[in-house]
């Protein structure tokens, strides 16, 4: 099981393909705050709700200096379908090898319907302008989570 990140940790660097296959790196966002959220699967109800909530609040977050990146183990083709079907504007990245998910502590054992399973742990990491972890939230709920982050960040 991967270690969970703590505030003050250096956010693990990553470069992953987006929905169009273009490589996106965390370092591309240096100088801005980045909300990196990890979700189990594109085109599922909870993940759709969460991605739509981020898209609906993207302007507000961007205005406060935050970029938003969603990462799942889906392949870029599925992310493109997800983006197009739901008119998503957040950057969606593919991590089919789950290396970034693991480096962020967002993959491991979790409870699902009372059973212990191994999978993506819905998580949100807020990275500051210097690339350090400002907040690390694990086992978050898909619904209402974006509103809570906005409130917690004082946006």
- List residues with catalytic annotation: 47
Contact in structure between 95 and 104 (CB atoms under 8 Å): no
DSSP 143: S
∠ CA 149-1-34, rounded to 5°: 30
Q: CA 32 to CA 14: how far, in whole Å?
A: 16
DSSP 27: G
Q: CA 132 to CA 9: how far, in whole Å?
A: 6
């Amino acid at each position: 099981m991967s270690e969970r990140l703590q505030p003050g940790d250096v956010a693990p660097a990553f470069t992953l393909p987006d929905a169009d296959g273009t490589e996106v790196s965390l370092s591309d966002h240096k100088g801005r705050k980045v909300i990196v959220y990890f979700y189990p699967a594109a085109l599922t109800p909870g993940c759709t709700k969460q991605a739509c909530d981020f898209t609906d609040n993207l302007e507000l977050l961007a205005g406060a200096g935050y970029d938003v990146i969603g990462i799942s183990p889906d392949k870029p083709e599925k992310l493109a379908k997800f983006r197009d079907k739901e008119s998503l504007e957040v950057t969606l990245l593919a991590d089919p090898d789950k290396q970034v998910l693991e480096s962020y502590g967002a993959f491991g054992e979790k409870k699902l319907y009372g059973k212990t399973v191994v999978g993506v742990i819905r998580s949100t990491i807020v990275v500051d302008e210097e690339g350090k972890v400002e907040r690390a939230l694990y086992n978050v709920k898909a619904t209402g989570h974006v509103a809570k982050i906005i409130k917690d960040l004082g946006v």
